[in-house]
Chain A
Amino acid sequence: MLAVTARELPLRLVFFRVHEAELAVAATDVEEIVGLGTLTPVPGVPAHVAGVQALRGQALPVLDLGAYLGLGGATDGDVAPRLLVARVPPYRVGLLAHRVLGVSGIDETIPSELELLQPDRLRVASLAALDRRGRVAALLDLARLLEAARA
């Protein structure tokens, strides 16, 4: 089943990889992409909160999507971890990505069956599954994901 029609999807998407999973978020939700620096752990929070990183004088919380969504598995050898700095009011969160693949238009993808997305937590956190050059990417519903990961 398709969760949304192509007309409801954001026009520009940032594609990135966490382990072997391909993910996407609306480009309008991404303020910037920065390198992964020193992370300070936060006492008493779940493991998917990787810590906070200093970013221009503020403490940016970092969400380990792999840990939260259950995306285990291999990461290719040429990894360059980056943070997608996502702003979904009232939150500003760094999303830990193993590789940023680029920005593409929604017209370069084909909506696919949401049921293709595994594990369950990834499916629940996604707006759509997108077929992109033969690989299925999950378009994340960031507002829902951030609220759920904060609970």
Chain B
Amino acid sequence: MSPEVSILVARAGVHQLALRATEVDEIAPRSLIGADPLEVPRLFGLTSDGDRVVRVTGSPGWICLGRELGLLRVPASAFVALPAWIPDLVVPLSAAIGLGDGFAWVLDASRLAAMDGG
């Protein structure tokens, strides 16, 4: 049986964006952080309306993944490699996760942290 992995998932438009929970240090209401977070949905032209933000390990800044941020446990076997044939991405992705008949996109936490000044 495949071990389980905890992920944080949020919606950005039609996309589901995820981070491994082990790469997240804090979750906070946006209204409490007193700074502008890095808005991931804006990287691909969407508005960002998430009311909760996260801070990834090694980064001093906050990141908004989108709305409806939640915690999910998925089997490790649900992680799949990104296809080799994908045009250059404006969003740093590291993998995909099969969820039902679609996929969530796993963000590369270290590259996000670098974008956020970490």
A45 contacts partner chain B, Cβ-Cβ < 8 Å: yes
Does A101 sit within 8 A of B, measured CB to CB?
A: no
Q: With an 8 A cutoff between CB atoms, is A151 at the interface? A: yes
**Among candidates A37, A41, A60, A151, residue contacting B83 with C-beta atoms closer than 8 Å:** A60
- Known: A58-B80, A92-B83, A151-B87. Is A44-B14 also a contact (CB below 8 A)? no
B33 lies within 8 A of chain A by Cβ: no
Please tell me if the beta carbons of B101 and A37 are within 8 angstroms of each other in the complex: yes
Q: Judging by beta carbons under 8 Å apart, are B98 and A57 in contact?
A: yes
Interface residues on A, range: 20 to 34
Q: Does A91 contact B84, Cβ atoms closer than 8 Å?
A: yes
The CA of A149 and the CA of B81, in the complex, are separated in Å by 20
Q: In the complex, which residues of chain B have a beta carbon less than 8 angstroms from the beta carbon of A92?
A: 83-85
B44 touches A43 (CB 8 A): yes
A40 in contact with B87 (CB, 8 Å): no
Chain A residues with CB below 8 A from B96, complex form: 40, 52, 59
Asked if B102 is at the interface (CB within 8 A of a chain A CB), the reply is yes
Contacts of A5 in B (CB 8 A): none
